Every structure is written in structure tokens, then in C-alpha cells.
Amino acid sequence: MSAVPSRTFWRGRRVLLTGHTGFKGGWLAMMLHRLGAEVTGIGLAPNTTPSLYEVADVGDICHSRFCDIRDREALTRLVREARPEVVLHLAAQPLVRASYREPVETFATNVMGTVHLLEALRGAADCRVAVMVTTDKVYENREWPWPYREVDALGGHDPYSASKAASEIAIASYRSAFLREAGIALASARAGNVIGGGDWSEDRLLPDAVRAWQAGKALVIRNLASVRPWQHVIEPLVGYLVLAQALWERPDLAGPWNFGPDTSQSASVRDVIEIARCAWGAADVVYGENTGPHEAGRLTLETAKARELLDVRPRWDLEESVRRTVVWYRRLQEGAPARALCEDDIAAWECA
């Protein structure tokens, strides 16, 4: 049985969560609320319609503050007001294709937004732990067949990947130059491709599939052979929470961490969409040629560090993760409340 977040640790804990209006941030806000934490969320207004923040009433379970992390003064003020003991940083421009359209905004948000938060933490007297979420795409991708480890070289072809790799360098600098001495254990978390109900972002495989199938259209797929470390959203979020708990007692664990599925569970786009199509039923897929900008063909993660030192390991395999994602959207379409659907998945994961 893998490690789980501790209700004893999180109950009453003051937590600052950036990006709470996004997909992963919304799920994490619900998990923290379930654990009894006092959450202050900082994020932009939701940029999708619908959004998990709105349909699951995430604003009702946390102190919600709207702020662009590129605004250093506003962000610093909100951090001071929240007086966090633990910081979980998820706010980002998270889309590869959007980064090709808006590279300057992507670097400004993912690099300088992160630096603004790190700078604000220098004066956060109550803070002891900060987990900064980046991505599995921070590695210099060489299309090799073995998984990337935390010690492998950073890099990035597209602006999104490069901006996240650059933020990792900034995080490491602040850890060494400022925050370790200030008594703040600072870690970065690199998670694989996340799926789950409540994601309506553009250019993401399962959200695109759901939009097409709900409209009675065929899903057009172009990057059939791309291999990624797919995982249900609950899995890495549990990893972030368990990591934060460990850092509280063992600040020597500060550093980079991979979170993802077992290497054997990494799968191609074709594999994922075929599972989703079977779960949805009566769904059409058209396989076309790739005409989009460059994206890495193969990316897998080595998660031995998290398994051995944190006892964090996935509970749901690829088929279960995809099936639950599809069922979530199906049930929402049938009228089930979004918050209840998330709570059901979290409870099922806890019992797995």
C-alpha cells in the first residue's frame, strides 16, 4: 500500500495554493479541503468554459484570490496576508501549443511568475515547506528509450518546456542562495501527463475527445505514436502532499522529484484513445497526419526516488485512469454534480 496524505498533518494547516482555478489546482483544493486544511488560493479567473473551478464551486472551499503572478507587488501582498505554512505552486501557462503562439507570456508566467513567488517567500516567516510544480517536459528530450531521472539534463525545444526548465534553475538557485538558510524546504515536482474529469483545456487529448464525442463528431488524432507517462490527476497530487509532509520533518529531502506511473504504464496516444473509445461507446476517431508544431515523440519518467524515499506509487493503472476520466464526463453530462464526482473518485482512490 502506498503512502497517503495525513489528515493529522493537514488539519488546520495554513496552505497557499497557486493555480487553484485550473484543472489540477481545483482537484488539489478539494483534496486539501477534505483533509481539513485552511487554503488560500491565488490564480487567474478561469479561462475555459466550463471550468472545474466554477462547476465544482471550488471558490466555496477556500479563500479565493484572483491575481496574475506576473504582478510581483500584488502577489507579495497576498502571500503576506495568507501567512502560509506550506506553499503549493501550480499556477502556470501549461500548454505546449499555446506557448508557440505566446512565447513571451509563457516565459513571463512560468519563469518570472515563479521567481516572484520565491522572492515573496523570503519574507514569509511562517512558511516551512514549498513545493513548486513544473512538468515532466523539463528534461532535454533525446528521444531515448529509457526514462528520465531527476539528475538528467534540463532543456526544452518548445517555449513551454524551456520555460519550465528555466524555472527549475531559478528554484534551485533560490533554494541554495536564500530559502534553505531561511528554514524553508523547497522542492520541485515533475509530473507526467495528467488526465481526469474537469479538464476543458484546448489541445489536450481526452478533453478534445470528449468535446468531439459529445457533439456527435469524430475525434481527429495526429500524433498517434507519441508516448507519454499518463496518470490520473489524483496520483501526482497525492505525491505533492506526501512530499510536503516529508519535507516538514526532513528538509534535507528538498530538491527535484519525479511523479508518474510505472514505466510499463507509459503508453502511446493511440493506446489511450482506444481505451477511451471503448469506455465511451459509439465514438468515432479519425487518424490523420501530424501538421502541428514540434512536440517530443517519446517521454517517460523514472520514479524510483519517490517510490523508495516517499513510498509514493500509483494505485490506478492506465486503463482504470482513462475509464474513470471518461465516466466522469459521462456522469456530468447526465446531471451529476461535479464536486460529488470528484469526491467519489478521491474516495475510490483512497480505498484502492
CATH of residue 299's domain is: 3.40.50.720
**Each residue's pLDDT tens digit, 242-300:** 999 999 999 999 999 999 999 888 899 999 999 999 999 988 999 876 666 767 789 99
Burial class (CB in 10 A: 0-12, 13-18, 19+), 334: exposed
Read off the amino acid at residue 201.
Answer: S
Q: Confirm whether 2 is domain-assigned.
A: no
Q: Confirm whether 245 is domain-assigned.
A: yes
The range of the structural domain enclosing residue 140 comes to 7-351
Q: Confirm whether 334 is domain-assigned.
A: yes
How many independent structural domains does the chain possess?
1
Q: Confirm whether 120 is domain-assigned.
A: yes
Q: Confirm whether 86 is domain-assigned.
A: yes
Q: Confirm whether 342 is domain-assigned.
A: yes
Model pTM above 0.95 = yes
Alpha-carbon distances of 107 from 22, 69, 220, 273, 348, rounded to whole Å = 18, 12, 30, 31, 38
**Each residue's pLDDT tens digit, 181-226:** 999 999 999 998 999 999 999 989 999 999 999 999 999 987 788 8
**Each residue's pLDDT tens digit, 312-340:** 999 999 999 999 999 999 999 999 999 99
pLDDT higher than 80, residue 114? yes
Query: In this structure, what are the phi and psi dihedrals at residue 347, rounded to the nearest 5 degrees?
Result: -65, -40
**Each residue's pLDDT tens digit, 4-63:** 999 999 999 999 999 999 999 999 999 999 999 999 999 999 999 999 999 999 999 999
**Each residue's pLDDT tens digit, 127-169:** 999 999 999 999 999 999 899 999 999 999 999 999 999 999 9
Say how many C-beta atoms besides its own lie within 10 A of residue 215's C-beta: 8
Q: Confirm whether 36 is domain-assigned.
A: yes
Q: Confirm whether 1 is domain-assigned.
A: no
